[in-house]
Amino acid sequence: MPSFDVIVIGLGGMGSATAAHLAARGTRVLGIEKHGPAHNRGSSHGGSRIIRQSYFEDPAYVPLLLRSYELFAKLEQDSGRTISTLCGGVMLGPPGSRTVAGSLRSARQWDLPHEMLDAKEIRRRFPTLAPRDDEVGLYEARAGLVRPETTVTAHLQLALQAGADLHFEEPVTRWDVLPGGAGVRVHTAEDVYTAGHLVVCPGAWAPSLLADLGVELTVERQIMYWFHPRGGTEPFTPDRHPIYIWEDADATQVYGFPALEGPDGGAKVAFFRRGTVCTPDTIERTVHDEETAAMAAHMAERIPDLPGRLRKAVACMYTNSPDEHFVLARHPAHPDSVTVACGFSGHGFKFVPVVGEIAADLALNGATEHPIGLFDPLRGAHP
Ligand SMILES: Cc1cc2nc3c(=O)[nH]c(=O)nc-3n(C[C@H](O)[C@H](O)[C@H](O)COP(=O)(O)OP(=O)(O)OC[C@H]3O[C@@H](n4cnc5c(N)ncnc54)[C@H](O)[C@@H]3O)c2cc1C
């Protein structure tokens, strides 16, 4: 039975980063993935992910984001790949909205460079955007995007270079903890492996692979739409166009990107957290005309030139925890042998490299210097 120091289940965003960090520390790692490298069946595909620092979700994420920016830069250098484009970003909405007020709170608390723009100034600087007079925006020059498939490929490349064993197209069927602190055993369709420690990074498959975690996770289908702008992509290129998150009076959030796919491509846009419940087995991958029409109508009021012709629409999954904060810790039921990284609730990608670093810390040392109190799986049980 092949034996390792650490086995990582799932080599998507989080698992590929964890395998790379573990291997870089000289650990004998086996990574096991059910699909191929950087595939499009989970949560880490679609060409772009927003990265930003003035985090409206909670200021507690900011130190992790600062480290993530450093690690993304290092990943680009070490892998020789282009991963990020820091084109700037605007968080828009009514002044009291979570998107605007929450971003401002994080920016102020952590002294992050930012500017507050009124509607007139937004229109002047970013002529594609048409905010209402009562909307404002927080502009962050360091916001932008990272490329998820390239990030995963880069981490897999570094893990391999550092000596990790990576198995693809090999689904894990079950895992168990051996008695007496003897480590773990992982069963796949092809073999059985043992290791001193297990890290489970299952994405949307968490409800089945982490059934005894004690956290209620909900998987949601989310659609990404690429529209070819009416007047062409030129006003939408990353040197002219920011990423944006735009909140309505009714708290609906939509977010989007510059056009990254050349003159014939589209600019991507999606609703944030407005999905339908699904499982990885039952998710409807077809996107219907009514869905596209609803998105086009929503954007016509905000970025009138954007909803030209639809280039493509692709489904993806969020795995939501009850409070939409991550789950990143030793497994409460198996604290000596298993680390978990799941429940990224639709906002995890910008943290991928720092999650890899933290999961490696937890696996090897049982603790990390990074502040991760918010991600305790038992937080719901605390008074
Ligand atoms: C449409 C959309 C837009 C998003 N936008 C943003 C954004 O702008 N900014 C941001 O920060 N975040 C964003 N996110 C969230 C972010 O992409 C996710 O939080 C992140 O990709 C989750 O990574 P993961 O490793 O948990 O999941 P995944 O990358 O899906 O990895 C899980 C892996 O586990 C494998 N696996 C599962 N079961 C098994 C098994 N039994 N055996 C072996 N392998 C298994 C899967 O095949 C998969 O590869 C977005 C997500 C979506 C869907």
42 CA to centre of ligand 1 in angstroms: 5
Residue 95 CA to ligand 1 center (angstroms) comes to 32
- The answer to whether the pTM exceeds 0.95 is yes
Mean per-residue pLDDT of the chain: 97
Looking at the predicted structure, is the pLDDT value of residue 28 above 90? yes
pLDDT at 10: 98
264, pLDDT greater than 60:
yes
Q: What percentage of the chain reaches a pLDDT higher than 70?
A: 99
pLDDT category at 229 given cuts 50, 70, 90 is: very high
For the CA of 50, the nearest atom of ligand 1: 8
How far apart are alpha carbons 351 and 368 in whole angstroms?
A: 15
Collapsing DSSP to helix, strand or coil, 349 comes out as helix
Query: Among residues of the chain, what percentage have pLDDT more than 90?
Result: 97
Q: What is the pLDDT of residues 364-375, one digit of tens each?
A: 999 999 999 999
Look up residue 350 and give its two tokens. Answer: 């910008």
State which of 54, 324, 347 you would mutate to test the pocket of ligand 1, scoring each by most atoms of that ligand within 8 A of its C-beta.
347
Distances (CA, A) of 347 to 47, 65, 256, 350: 15, 12, 14, 7
Q: If you measure from the C-alpha of residue 344 to the centroid of ligand 1, how many angstroms do you get, rounded to a whole number?
A: 8
If you write DSSP's letter for every residue of 149-182 in order, what string do you get?
HHHHHHHHHHHHHTT-EEE-S--EEEEEEPGGG-
In this structure, the residue with its CA closest to atom 19 of ligand 1 is 348
Q: How many CB atoms lie within 10 A of CB 146?
A: 23
Ligand 1 site, CB within 6 A: 9-15, 32-35, 42-44, 46, 49-50, 171-172, 201-205, 209, 222, 224, 270, 316-318, 344, 346-350
- pLDDT at residue number 382: 65
pLDDT bucket at 150, cuts 50 / 70 / 90: very high
CA distances in angstroms from 236 to 87, 230, 291, 318, listed in the order given: 11, 11, 23, 27
Mean pLDDT of 260-269: 95
Q: How far is the CA of 33 from the centre of ligand 1 (A)?
A: 12
